[in-house]
Amino acid sequence: MQTFSLDDVVLHPSPFYNAQQLDLRYLLELDADRLLAPYYKEAGLSPSKDNYTNWENTGLDGHIGGHYLSALSMMYASTGDIELLNKIHYFIIQLKQCQDANGDGYLSGVPDGKRIWCEISEGNIEAGSFSLNKGWVPLYNIHKIFAALRDAHIYAHNPDALNMLIKLSDWFMSITAHLSDEQLQQILISEHGGMNEVFVDVAELSGDDEYLAFAARFSDYTILNPLIDKNINLVGMHANTQIPKVIGFKRYADVADDTIWNAASKYFWDLVVNKMTISIGGNSVREHFHSPDDYKPMIESEQGPETCNTYNMLHLSKMLFLSETDHKYLDYYERALYNHILSTQHPYTGGFVYFTPMRPQHYRVYSQVHTSFWCCVGSGLENHSKYGEMIYTHKANNLYVNLFIPSQVTWKEQGVELIQQTQFPYSEEINFTIQKAEKPFELNIRMPTWLGDKSPTVTVNNKAAEVETINGYILVKNDHWRRGDLVAVKMPMQTSIEYLPDNSNYASVSHGPIVLAAKTDTTDLDGLFADDSRMGHIAKGDMRPLEQAPAIITDNLNFIDKIHPVKSQPLHFVMNTANGQQLELQPFYEIHDARYMLYWPIYTEAEFNGRIKDLKKKEATVLALEKQTIDKVAPGEQQPESDHFFKGEHTNSGINQDKFWRDATAWFSYELNDKKAEANTLRIKYFSGDVGRKFRIELNGHLLTKVELKSGENGFYTIDYPLHPLKDKISSGKIELKFVAETGSVAGGIYGVRLLK
**Those residues with Cβ within 8 angstroms of residue 148's Cβ, 6 or more apart along the chain or in another chain:** 65, 66, 67, 68, 69, 70, 73
Is 671 in contact with 699 (CB distance < 8 Å)? no
Nearer to Zn ion, 446 or 537 (CB): 537
β-pairing, 506-511 vs 495-499, is antiparallel
Q: How far is the CB of 344 from Zn ion (least distance, A)?
A: 10
Q: How far is the CB of 306 from Zn ion (least distance, A)?
A: 5
Closest CA to 638 of 306, 363, 226: 306
Q: How far apart are CA 179 and CA 509, in angstroms?
A: 53
Q: How far is the CB of 314 from Zn ion (least distance, A)?
A: 14
Q: Taking CB under 5 A as the rule, which mask of x and - marks residues 287-306 in contact with Zn ion?
A: -------------------x
Nearer to Zn ion, 375 or 746 (CB): 375
Q: How far is the CB of 231 from Zn ion (least distance, A)?
A: 28
Nearer to Zn ion, 74 or 679 (CB): 74
List beta partners, residue 289.
none
Nearer to Zn ion, 4 or 355 (CB): 355
Q: Taking CB under 5 A as the rule, which mask of x and - marks residues 362-381 in contact with Zn ion?
A: -------------xx-----
Q: How far is the CB of 251 from Zn ion (least distance, A)?
A: 21
Q: How far is the CB of 378 from Zn ion (least distance, A)?
A: 8
Task: Determine which residue in the list 308, 401, 753, 755 makes contact with Zn ion, applying CB under 5 A.
Answer: 308
- Tell me which residues in 184-243 interact with Zn ion (CB under 5 A): none
Number of residues that bind Zn ion (CB under 5 A): 4
Nearer to Zn ion, 64 or 735 (CB): 64
CB atoms near residue 414 (< 10 Å): 18
Nearer to Zn ion, 194 or 513 (CB): 194
Q: Which stretch binds Zn ion (CB under 5 A): 308-316, 362-370, 413-421, 743-751?
A: 308-316
Is 215 in contact with 199 (CB distance < 8 Å)? yes
Q: How far is the CB of 241 from Zn ion (least distance, A)?
A: 11
E strands within 118-201? 127-128, 131-132, 135-136
Q: How far is CA 267 from CA 306, 331, 481, in A?
A: 22, 17, 40
Q: How far is CA 637 from CA 129, 233, 544, 643, 659, in A?
A: 9, 17, 25, 10, 10
Q: How far apart are CA 653 and CA 131, in angstroms?
A: 12
Q: Does 132 bind Zn ion (CB under 5 A)?
A: no
Q: How far is the CB of 537 from Zn ion (least distance, A)?
A: 8
Give CA angle at 274 (270, 279), nearest 5°.
Answer: 130
Instruction: Please spell the DSSP secondary structure of 351-373, one letter per residue.
Output: PBBSB---STTB---B--TTT--
Nearer to Zn ion, 317 or 638 (CB): 638
Nearer to Zn ion, 192 or 754 (CB): 192
Q: How far is the CB of 311 from Zn ion (least distance, A)?
A: 8
Is 696 in contact with 726 (CB distance < 8 Å)? no
Nearer to Zn ion, 344 or 410 (CB): 344
Nearer to Zn ion, 107 or 353 (CB): 353
Q: How far is CA 622 from CA 350, 626, 629, in A?
A: 34, 6, 11
Q: How far is the CB of 190 from Zn ion (least distance, A)?
A: 17
H-helix segments, 637-720 = 638-643
**Binding positions for Zn ion, rule: CB under 5 A:** 306, 308, 375-376
